[in-house]
Structure 1
């Protein structure tokens, strides 16, 4: 999964499902191919993009064509918004779990949290041959990690694809401490081999990502000490609470904490941003300037 980002100013293409694998009871890993993938995929971690999903009851995806001279995608986005709402595809943000530029393929993990949203519904029913639209990815939204000797990576199951790519990209000598919140032990996925210590937080056992990090003392054990930088993503209110904790109680500089609210409890990406959402988006943008 990924944070909400503008649809304009990014490449638009189509992708087709070639394989669907249920990697946990609540996660479907979908492999896509597409003619544009070798050109738009980049060799970097945490590549975020949007997938355009057909509305319920529609098997054909209705999307406008992208003009070659529409450099910033604004005309495409205006045409997209002009599609009647009942026909307009849903757009949802994701992080690419892995890709193969030579073969023109990518894999995306769908968290299946019931029939409560278009992405979960589509992911549960995905079949080879299904076609979606894709907006992005774009290096305009790439956020390189800070250099650090010890790094904290924290998130829920929606952040696991990004965490995995970040672990794969860690420079030699950087140690990582991962806190990952999942529903139960069945949702614990294999993470890449790295100089990392992984601590799973299970909701069925009463675990909470925020409480687990807050109660961790000096992040001792095999990890051996305080962190120099952090990356936090997942449900927005949990991300905000963790960032406040890391800055105010752990003493990390604000610039050392990269954060993204991937989803909002009781709200979707189609709902208007709250005043707190806007304030945090402005602060995040200011931190990257």
Structure 2
């Protein structure tokens, strides 16, 4: 247990379903998830996965406020694989949570070792597989980033496939009549999804490669597309998520060239090319408490 907004939840895989060549949806269930309190939108949480051959993820015995230091102190080849994900949907009455995984590096044409441990786990996940979630115990928690001010006239969204579940959660949450312009990069045309339209929704799907090959996995299209776009009048709110280099470039463009108020641009680097989540968390470990 962690005091405050977050706690640990033990869960198991209930089912999985492929959404496209790059994405799969895994449903987690378990009695403890009845108390998981997703705030919707881009609600993030930490997921702990077992290594191959382990029955359950290995975590510190004392799962208190110092859990991160305890986790890092365990042998790297044994301690639970740690990754951050977004809640795609929650059904509290059934104690279920849906999470969409990007399966980078798991295709038949990918070289050996191209996939990270979380992608490999998700590609092979089966009902009954055990996991642990570190997630919200209260719905209004600091791991929800999408918070448009009430005077916003329209919303700009830019994302890659890793942030697509959050985009879906945001569109599900937005009130009817909201004007949204979205640019979403995916590796393959079959990764394009049907998304809820909260009102005036314009989505530009940017497919990086029609064949789904590894060469198609370099984010690049959203920046050029947004630079060339005619944006609506009025007061905007922007939400940017995906590969950190792309996100930074988009933020610089919107604030420096388009004149967006930086306080109205929410941005998050979901991953960084050439760096694992363990490396990123280690760099930011000072002050880490819940997620």
The answer, yes or no, to whether TM exceeds 0.5 is: yes
Partner-residue secondary structure (3-state), 1:129: coil
Number of equivalenced pairs: 262
Task: Give me the TM-score of the superposition, normalised by structure 2.
Answer: 0.82
1:259 maps to 267
Pick one of 131, 139, 142 that aligns with 1:140.
142
Change (3 A) 1:78 1:267: closer
Summarize the Cα distance change of 1:79–1:273 in structure 2 as closer, same or farther, 3 Å threshold.
Answer: closer
Deviation per CA, 1:138-189, whole angstroms, max 9, x where unpaired? 6132332333221101100011111111111112332001100011211101
Contact 1:12 1:66 in 2 (8 A): no
Structure 1 residue aligned with 2:162: 158
- Stretches of structure 1 lacking an aligned partner (at least 5 in a row): 1-5, 68-72, 279-289
Is the CA contact 1:20–1:126 (under 8 Å) kept in the aligned structure 2?
A: yes
2:213 match: none
Following superposition, the deviation at residue 66 of structure 1 comes to: 5.1
Once the two structures are TM-superposed, the CA of residue 194 in structure 1 deviates from its matched residue by 2.0
Aligned in 2, Cα 1:41/1:65: closer, same or farther, shift over 3 Å?
farther
TM-align CA RMSD: 2.6
Contact 1:20 1:29 in 2 (8 A): yes
Match of 1:286 in 2: none
Contact 1:65 1:76 in 2 (8 A): no
Cα distance in 2 for partners of 1:197, 1:110 equals 24
Residue 32 (structure 1) aligns with:
28
Distance 1:120 1:230 in 2: 29
Post-superposition offset of 1:74 = 2.1
**Any idea what the Cα deviations from partners look like across 1:27-65, whole Å, max 9, x if unmatched?**
110001022212122343211101101124434322234
The answer to whether the 8 Å contact 2:244/2:268 transfers is yes
Q: Take 1:149 and 1:232, find their aligned partners in 2: how far apart are those partners?
A: 17
Deviation at 1:226, TM superposition (A): 6.1
Alignment of 1:1-289 (within 5 A): 10-65=6-61, 73-115=64-106, 116-137=115-136, 139-143=141-145, 144-147=147-150, 148-195=152-199, 196-204=201-209, 208-216=221-229, 218-219=230-231, 224-225=232-233, 228-272=236-280
Q: Structure 2: which 5+ residue stretches go unaligned? A: 107-114, 211-215, 286-291
